[in-house]
Structure 1
Amino acid sequence: MNYWTRRDFIGGGAATLLSASVFANNPVADAFAAAQPFYGVVMLAKQGKPVYVRTFGMANIEENKAVRSDTPFAVGSISKWLTSATVLRLVEDGKLELDATIGKLLPWYRADGADKVTLRHLLSNASGIPNQFTPALRADPSIRDLPFTTRQAIERFCSGELIFTPGSRFDYVSTNWYIVIGIIEQITGVPYQQAMRAITLDPLKLPATRADRAYIEAPATAAAYATITPPARKMDIHQHYMVASGGYYSTADDLLRAASAIFNEGFLKRSAVEALTHIEVPSENYTLGGRVKTLNVNGQPHVFAWETGRTAGFRSVLGHRLDGEDTVIILNNTDMSQKTLDEFAYSLLGANNV
């Protein structure tokens, strides 16, 4: 267990001065870390400013590298939320429509859902398009390493006959997002990660939010573990056509900046924020690329955007009150239960899930 130092807040050539209260102990976090092996970063913020930050454990056990404030962790499905923000920027620019069909956006898509499945269905995981990647991977694990183009991956893994009427059910499959990548590339004319960088990540000043292989394998990036005694790695590599579903790495600081800018500081227009937070699948509280939850804080109900991520041994939570008053961020690399991490986040907020 280690604490942040003043040096940890120096980045991009400038120091961020924070009050001493940022470094104070938090009984909830201390008790949680004492009750089980917890490695990672915990951040609480008020109105977009950190009020508590603490690091625990190891980013790399074998090399005895402690978690730091600027350690990047895989954020799993928070990648979907960032991708949805990018889509909404393209909607604002008149380049996309949420209710346009795949066939309109990808003229070469000839599957059963071409004239039935919309971009909105894809972003809300309610398309009805079957996941053909998972059974293919079980049959031949080497298929993950084949150099498919985005189009080839879509044609191979995302083009089966619909298994339900689009919009009628929730089906949390990564292959929806292969198609979203294809749409973004079709509309922008550049590779998906380049479009994300230009449309969202650079304008938001998120230098630590990346998905390229060199960054993931860099010494400063956290490794993920299935167990820590003894240490056993649990890593996952996302091909380029998988990244929108769960391939990005980020830091607590970047995620706080993104949430504040997207929901409260005008990065998206009001109509786009409303679209991003509108519940599309009520049974799951699922919106576009994420969830919305109502939590009781100090006896009062408040609506939070609730973005979570799970990939290999990484777990993450980004809970952001939509009025910007409270934010909780947890990044973890020890394969914890997502439910346990959510409940930890509620406790940090002093909240109950309604």
Structure 2
Amino acid sequence: MLNRRALLGAGAALPLLSAVPAWPAGADQQPDAVVDAFVRDAGFQGVVMLGRMGKPDYIRTVGYADIEARLPAKADTPYAIASISKWLTTVTVLKLVERGLLDLDAPLTRFLPDYRADTGAKLTLRRLLCNASGLPNLFSAAGKEDPTLLTTDLTTGQALTRFCQGDLMFEPGDKFDYNMVNWIVVVAVVERVTGLPFQAAVRSITLDPLGMKATAATDKALETVAPSYRTVEPPDRWRNDRRPYLAAAGGYASTAPDLMRGAHLVFDTGFLTPESRRQLTHVEMPTADYALGGRVRQLTIQGRTVLAGWETGRTAGYRLVLGHRLDGRRTVVILNNTALSQKTMDQFADRLLGAEPRP
């Protein structure tokens, strides 16, 4: 039986990659001390990466990506990124808006003319992308009745008909409701306007142009992705089945270098137009700090308020943070597969960025 503290201690002894330069002189935070404390207090294992302009200047790997096989976590180990997939989906939608194929505020029935007419006239991509559509979560209800649902193949059209056409629970925009059904509808829209399977559209529109070669849908990359765990002592693997029609909400896997590169190019460069970047970072639902496809948080760093794009992922045992200061000065990526508290992961990321604790 593996002892958790001994396991993580062994991982913590793994060296930094030799190609990574030393932490900048005069930096306020010494990340090794922050990581060591989180390993000690929370039993963290996984990957920590800090960088600037899409390039890492600090990498730390802790523990094992595969506990049973004793395969150590590496800087380029792929992890399922859960809801960070929503960010990639939103970037894809915004690129299609730039091409004139989509409109964030047009009625859904413009793009899905066979969708239910009464609700389709009220729904927009904006409300779907900020999780404020009002659609009931018929997917979760069906999953409770049928445990085999996540291993059952359905086409996008079948999923759209079965899960996404219920009576609205509230008027679109009135409430925040973190609901996977929203994203099944987005998959259907992207497939309809591009004529491509969703994953192929994301690959050609977003991933390949961003150079995110290690990022792929989990159903295409299961053999290489670090498994997730409910517990590490004894190791108890936690399945993370995802059908293609669920890819937009949480069906991708990626690596720390890919996520860091993508965050820089999306938030800091001309990959998106200024208007698209404005849409991506405009908070639509202030009660949840939620913009389109992710959050924008206010961090207090050295007495100043700094906005940060804040993408998090939580599914099965995966817990992840991609935090990017919108002033372009710093990115943090944290990948974990042992079911840590997401709140503590956010607090860990805050400390690594030198932010004051939130009340």
Gapped regions of structure 2 (runs ≥ 5): 1-10, 25-29
Q: Does the 8 Å contact 1:292/1:303 carry over to 2? A: yes
Aligned-residue offset at 1:108: 1.1
Q: Distance in 2 between matches of 1:21 and 1:344?
A: 18
Asked whether 1:331 is paired with 2:335, we answer yes
Q: Alpha carbon RMSD of aligned pairs, Å?
A: 1.4
Quick check: 1:189 aligned with 2:195?
yes
Contact 2:55 2:261 in 1 (8 A): no
Confirm whether residue 177 of structure 1 aligns to residue 189 of structure 2.
no
Amino acid at match of 1:285: D
Q: Secondary structure at the match of 2:239?
A: coil
What is the percent sequence identity of the aligned residues?
50
Give 1:5 shift: 3.2
Aligned to 2:216, the other structure's residue is in SS state coil
- The Cα shift of 1:323 comes to 1.5
Q: CA deviation at 1:212?
A: 4.4
Give the superposition deviation at 1:31. 1.1
> 1:136-175 counterparts in 2 under 5 A?
136-175=142-181
2:39 — aligned with what?
A: 33
Structure 1, unaligned stretches of length 5 or more?
Answer: 7-16
Cα distance in 1 between the residues matched to 2:126 and 2:53: 30
Normalising to structure 2: TM-score of the pair?
0.92
Hey, what's the Cα distance between the residues in 1 that align with 2:232 and 2:245? Answer: 31
Tell me whether 1:62 sits opposite 2:68 in the alignment: yes
Match of 1:19? 21
- C-alpha deviations, 1:137-168, integer Å up to 9, x for none? 11121233322110110110111010100011
Q: Does 1:317 align with 2:329?
A: no
**Distance of aligned partners of 1:25 and 1:350 in 2 relative to their CA distance in 1, 3 Å threshold:** closer
Match of 1:250 in 2: 254
**Which of 106, 109, 120 is residue 114 of structure 1 equivalent to?**
120
* Secondary structure of residue in 2 paired with 1:331: strand
8 A contact 1:41–1:332 mirrored in 2: yes
Q: Distance in 2 between matches of 1:301 and 1:316?
A: 23
Per-residue deviation, 1:25: 6.3
Whichever residue aligns with residue 169 of structure 2, its letter is I
SS class of match (1:255): helix
Q: If the length of structure 1 is used for normalisation, what is the TM-score?
A: 0.93
Runs (4+) of structure 1 moved beyond 4 Å? none
Q: Distance in 1 between matches of 2:159 and 2:48?
A: 37
CA distance in 2, matches of 1:300, 1:147: 50
What secondary structure, in the 3-state scheme, does the structure 2 residue paired with 1:221 have?
Answer: coil
1:103 alignment counterpart: 109
Q: What amino acid maps onto 2:48 in structure 1?
A: V
Counterpart pick for 1:4 among 2, 12, 16: 16
Q: Secondary structure at the match of 1:134?
A: helix
